[in-house]
Amino acid sequence: MTEKQKADKDFSRSLYVAEDIKEGELITEKNVRSVRPGFGLHPKYLPEVLGKKATSDLEKGERFELKNIE
């Protein structure tokens, strides 16, 4: 990854846990947010994430990954 790509990541957005989520709990607009930096799941996946269940306990501030949803 080049220095420019690293800098771009700092200013891009990604999906992060906004409130603690328990395993099996539904993911809603209330417990997920699109924030900077862009080191997690891209915001374009938000519609796919909403309404799915968490595969494990997720803590506030943790970044989303596809493995976190079922």
CATH, residue 27: 3.90.1210.10
pLDDT for 6? 59
Burial classification of residue 9, based on how many CB atoms lie within 10 Å of its CB (0-12 exposed, 13-18 middle, 19 or more buried): middle
Structural domains in the chain (count)? 1
User: Is 68 in contact with 58 (CB distance < 8 Å)?
Assistant: yes
Domain that holds residue 54: 3-68
- pLDDT, tens digit (0-9, with 9 covering 90-100), for 27-70: 999 999 999 877 888 899 999 999 999 999 999 999 988 898 89
Taking the C-alpha atoms of residue 56 and residue 43, their distance in angstroms, rounded to an integer, is 20
Q: What is the pTM of this model?
A: 0.79
